[in-house]
Amino acid sequence: MEDLCVVLNTLWAYDTGTFPHERHRVMFALILILAGCGALRPSSLISMEAPLLYEHCEFRLVPPPPGQPGPNKIALVIDFSNIKGHGDA
């Protein structure tokens, strides 16, 4: 996780001119975070055979536990069943 933090800090703070559009920088950061959370290679998320698409991502509103005050939280649920190498033995 510490290595991912260093990479993301470098990506956002020092890396300029690498990406033709700023949206690519945001997408690349998201791919790195998802790969780190899911213990995946980044290439498995963006492969041409089975890419991770918007339809595989779902935002959900999670209420606080019963009896505890607080705001609702937003959770991102990702379906990794379509990624490259899923189901391989």
Place of tokens 């690498």: 18
Structure tokens at 65: 């536990």
Residues in the chain: 89
Per residue in 29-87, pLDDT (tens digit) is 888 887 777 676 767 677 667 677 778 888 899 999 999 999 999 888 888 776 655 55
Q: Nearest to residue 31, comparing CAs of 75, 87, 80, 89? A: 80
The pTM assigned to this predicted structure is 0.54
Tell whether the model's pLDDT for residue 28 goes beyond 90. Answer: no
Structure tokens at 21: 């559009």
Q: What is the SS3 assignment for 29? A: helix
